[in-house]
Chains A and B, each alone.
Chain A
């Protein structure tokens, strides 16, 4: 009989080992899945995890996809540390894309070099405003932010659908539900020639460092951690849980909004009915896979970005459905949560179980 025994102290090895173990288990299960579907498991895993990054273009695509994941996850992780469960980064990302995109569409023939900075501010503000709603509902009415932020995601998505079908539709676009293409001044500068990788990736890297410094070195980060770990001690210290709710939701919203702005002003170049393949939701997996630590999040974002690319590759090469991406991401989170048990418990094998 296999039993779980509580450990005397949380295992340090397992804090870092659990994500690795989760990746290994995902690979094994993935291989089993592929062979059950009748494909060569090793070749499939190669197509999923190696092939997409075997050339420099693949690597720029990986970084491109990791950018919004990193931005959203760094913001979410601050909230998760403080027990604020913002599940609506997807909606905040969409809102940021809308506000930035609306500016690009309105002044589509502008050549001003101020376009990008203004759109960045608009994207930050859009995401922040959308996250302010759950913050207000939580601090004023004790409404659960998990529900409100999640539900607002759908509102944002439908609002975007309305805009591209109505006010912001391209007048010369043959009635397709899309905005006109942004002008050159409203597109992010490229980081690598002949690729889609834009300067947003550098900004995301900068945000990772800022997030790290904030959580590790400042009183704000300290407050978030104390409120999240021990609310009673936060009262004792005189930290306000409400402030932490506001701060972490606004920060998470702003970073998600920035990610949305980067998507429309980067690889997409216009407003479309769908802007993100679920980056805002996947960022939750990324945040936990990265142990809510900005550096860990960066690594996790690269891994999960690979699952998007790998999913596309096996769609093309093996004609597997898109769902395979979601399956891999889901397995990753599932195994991570399961492996986390090992931080506080150890497996013990034997028959000395107590009878109740």
Chain B
């Protein structure tokens, strides 16, 4: 056994990231760590690589109990890691970057020779003298991998290595990884892409909400069964108010596309959906699949060249800024509460002005009306049970859940016609989450159109009326939530968009 974890627990103030996790990695295997965002994968590998230390439990490396205090020590033990986001200096050469990232120091010429040796041996062609900024994303990843291999590691941790690669690059990477396995090295492979795990990995450990929920042999499991383990089976579907009066289309998005130069963010590809008055529409998906771009285009923080692609009550708004859309009845609750939805250093009263100027009487003729802002803040605090020192408290002094209640309350009290909410209950305790869900459903019953973008499937199944899944910037067909199963959503989240059209398959049944 190369690596054995037993009873690893790591708690953060807001949540328990890992709860008595046990698993092991054998020599010469590719071991998958599978789970949704927030399942605790990253925290776990950070402890293996020495970036964090566990609160409880032990790490046994090659039969000996070890305490890995920092990444340098991990590298000495023979543990290497390739991060999802590269840590390379763009203006420096490959050679210089490699020299900076390894423990031993020696003449650069020898290092260059070794880089070429290693890169040829593993099919990762690299020129040590090229500058990073001239390299493609795939080539940059090679630099990271070669830098890791130069330490001759016996365990390589790879965090979502394919998220930025083209399919051809993925195939090449897999060839390299299989060769490393043949040499007896172990690879800990983190991903939520089910088809990759089936194709590559010998074993998989599945994490959900910080706990190990199962071990399996991916080649013997179906993508569907793994998806089920990943997202959980016991999702309670509450009785829907099927009699709710659903009105006309309020928000219509038609063939919305966008491309960026950022490799870590998915481009949007012909996204089409509509949200009717009196319904909650959910968009599921793993983070980084285009949600942020979609949200900033919908809120007006980013303007679209296609004005017609986004319509509110029939009016094209794609080219209007967030302030103008607010005047048309849009309210937006961003994912980031502190630093996006609120200014951390400002009081709650001041923070009501942030989204209230121009659509309420908080600002008159350019003058701030402090008494009104304080009255509104107090009203929100009372109505939504926000635990705080009062309307003068700085936003950053509130806990995540209370700040979220405050922001949701601020937007709800405007009686919007259309509400867009990102991750409404992420990191929020159960009581506050229930209150937020109830508030959203009440608002829906009053005839508001609500769009919820969330990674939390339990939440989407609990409150939405219709839902769709976003993956790599593409949005699936929407369908009524009560006719949708967790497996279907899991498959779509896993990126099996083309191979299986899960929606249709279900419809034919």
Question: Taking beta carbons and an 8 Å cutoff, which residues of A are in contact with B?
Answer: 9, 217-220, 222, 225-226, 229-230, 232-233, 235-238, 240, 356
Contacts of A229 in B (CB 8 A): 343-346
Which 10 interchain pairs have the tightest Cβ spacing? A238-B323, A238-B322, A235-B301, A237-B354, A232-B340, A230-B343, A233-B343, A219-B363, A219-B366, A229-B343
Say whether, besides A217-B367, A222-B368, A226-B354, A236 and B345 are in contact (CB < 8 Å). no
Say whether, besides A219-B357, A238-B322, A233 and B367 are in contact (CB < 8 Å). no
Contact B340 A236 (CB under 8 A): yes
Contact B322 A237 (CB under 8 A): yes
Contacts of A222 in B (CB 8 A): 350, 353, 357, 368
The one of A219, A236, A238, A356 in contact with B334, judged by C-beta atoms closer than 8 angstroms, is A236
The minimal Cβ–Cβ distance linking A5 to chain B, given in whole angstroms, is 19
Q: How far is the CA of A218 from the CA of B365 in the complex (A)?
A: 9
Q: Kindly supply a per-residue 1/0 record for chain B positions 318-335, scoring 1 wherever the CB is within 8 Å of any chain A CB and 0 otherwise.
A: 000111101000001010
Contact A236 B301 (CB under 8 A): yes
Q: How far is the CA of A26 from the CA of B358 in the complex (A)?
A: 48
Contact B339 A230 (CB under 8 A): yes
**25 pairs from A and B in contact (CB 8 Å cutoff):** A217-B368, A218-B367, A218-B368, A219-B363, A220-B366, A222-B353, A222-B357, A225-B343, A225-B346, A226-B346, A229-B345, A229-B346, A230-B343, A232-B339, A233-B339, A233-B340, A233-B343, A236-B341, A236-B354, A236-B355, A237-B322, A238-B323, A238-B358, A240-B321, A356-B70
Contacts of B70 in A (CB 8 A): 356
Contacts of B336 in A (CB 8 A): 232
Q: How far is the CA of A273 from the CA of B408 in the complex (A)?
A: 61
Q: How far is the CA of A192 from the CA of B368 in the complex (A)?
A: 39
Please tell me if B300 contacts chain A, counting CB pairs below 8 Å: yes
Contacts of B397 in A (CB 8 A): 9
Please tell me if B471 contacts chain A, counting CB pairs below 8 Å: no
Q: How far is the CA of A236 from the CA of B356 in the complex (A)?
A: 11
Q: How far is the CA of A97 from the CA of B6 in the complex (A)?
A: 76
Q: How far is the CA of A62 from the CA of B293 in the complex (A)?
A: 56
Contact B366 A218 (CB under 8 A): yes
Q: How far is the CA of A82 from the CA of B388 in the complex (A)?
A: 28
Contacts of A236 in B (CB 8 A): 299, 301, 322, 332, 334, 340-341, 354-355
By beta carbon, the residue of chain B nearest A221 is: B368
For chain B, residues 360 to 376, give those with C-beta under 8 angstroms from any C-beta of chain A.
363, 366-368
The minimal Cβ–Cβ distance linking B441 to chain A, given in whole angstroms, is 25
For chain B, residues 11 to 40, give those with C-beta under 8 angstroms from any C-beta of chain A.
none
By beta carbon, the residue of chain A nearest B300 is: A238
Q: How far is the CA of A9 from the CA of B345 in the complex (A)?
A: 11
Q: How far is the CA of A281 from the CA of B224 in the complex (A)?
A: 67
Q: Kindly supply a per-residue 1/0 record for chain B positions 375-407, scoring 1 wherever the CB is within 8 Å of any chain A CB and 0 otherwise.
A: 000000000000000000000010000000000
Please tell me if B454 contacts chain A, counting CB pairs below 8 Å: no
Contacts of A232 in B (CB 8 A): 336, 339-340
Contacts of A9 in B (CB 8 A): 397
Contacts of A235 in B (CB 8 A): 301, 322
Contacts of B334 in A (CB 8 A): 236
By beta carbon, the residue of chain A nearest B336 is: A232
Contacts of B332 in A (CB 8 A): 236
Q: How far is the CA of A105 from the CA of B357 in the complex (A)?
A: 48
The minimal Cβ–Cβ distance linking B438 to chain A, given in whole angstroms, is 25
Q: How far is the CA of A235 from the CA of B340 in the complex (A)?
A: 8
A230-B343, A233-B341, A237-B323 given; 15 more Cβ-contact pairs under 8 Å = A217-B367, A217-B368, A219-B363, A219-B366, A222-B357, A226-B343, A226-B354, A230-B344, A230-B345, A232-B340, A233-B342, A236-B299, A236-B301, A236-B354, A237-B354
Contacts of A219 in B (CB 8 A): 353, 357, 363, 366-368
Q: How far is the CA of A237 from the CA of B340 in the complex (A)?
A: 9
By beta carbon, the residue of chain A nearest B332 is: A236
By beta carbon, the residue of chain A nearest B394 is: A9
Q: How far is the CA of A235 from the CA of B358 in the complex (A)?
A: 15
For chain B, residues 233 to 265, give those with C-beta under 8 angstroms from any C-beta of chain A.
none
Q: How far is the CA of A133 from the CA of B336 in the complex (A)?
A: 36
Q: How far is the CA of A229 from the CA of B326 in the complex (A)?
A: 22
Contacts of A237 in B (CB 8 A): 322-323, 354-355, 357
By beta carbon, the residue of chain A nearest B69 is: A356
Q: How far is the CA of A229 from the CA of B339 in the complex (A)?
A: 9
Contacts of B324 in A (CB 8 A): 238
The minimal Cβ–Cβ distance linking B391 to chain A, given in whole angstroms, is 16
Q: Which of A226, A235, A238 has the most CB of B within 10 A?
A: A238
By beta carbon, the residue of chain B nearest A231 is: B339
Contact B366 A233 (CB under 8 A): no
Contact B354 A233 (CB under 8 A): yes
Q: How far is the CA of A233 from the CA of B333 in the complex (A)?
A: 11
The minimal Cβ–Cβ distance linking A209 to chain B, given in whole angstroms, is 16
Q: How far is the CA of A143 from the CA of B324 in the complex (A)?
A: 29
Q: How far is the CA of A218 from the CA of B369 in the complex (A)?
A: 9
Q: How far is the CA of A172 from the CA of B340 in the complex (A)?
A: 64
Contacts of A226 in B (CB 8 A): 343, 346, 354
Q: How far is the CA of A9 from the CA of B393 in the complex (A)?
A: 13
Q: How far is the CA of A220 from the CA of B363 in the complex (A)?
A: 11
By beta carbon, the residue of chain B nearest A216 is: B368
Contacts of A217 in B (CB 8 A): 367-368
Contacts of B366 in A (CB 8 A): 218-220
Contacts of A240 in B (CB 8 A): 321
The minimal Cβ–Cβ distance linking B465 to chain A, given in whole angstroms, is 27
Q: How far is the CA of A143 from the CA of B70 in the complex (A)?
A: 41
Q: Which of B324, B326, B357 has the most CB of A within 10 A?
A: B357
Contact B339 A238 (CB under 8 A): no
The minimal Cβ–Cβ distance linking B326 to chain A, given in whole angstroms, is 7
Q: How far is the CA of A236 from the CA of B350 in the complex (A)?
A: 14
Contacts of B323 in A (CB 8 A): 237-238
Q: How far is the CA of A238 from the CA of B302 in the complex (A)?
A: 10
By beta carbon, the residue of chain B nearest A235 is: B301
The minimal Cβ–Cβ distance linking B442 to chain A, given in whole angstroms, is 24
The minimal Cβ–Cβ distance linking A234 to chain B, given in whole angstroms, is 9
By beta carbon, the residue of chain A nearest B323 is: A238
Contacts of A230 in B (CB 8 A): 339-340, 343-345
Contacts of B363 in A (CB 8 A): 219
Q: Which of B324, B334, B343, B353 has the most CB of A within 10 A?
A: B343
The minimal Cβ–Cβ distance linking A281 to chain B, given in whole angstroms, is 28
Q: How far is the CA of A123 from the CA of B343 in the complex (A)?
A: 37
Say whether, besides A229-B345, A232-B339, A233-B340, A238 and B326 are in contact (CB < 8 Å). yes
Q: How far is the CA of A226 from the CA of B363 in the complex (A)?
A: 15
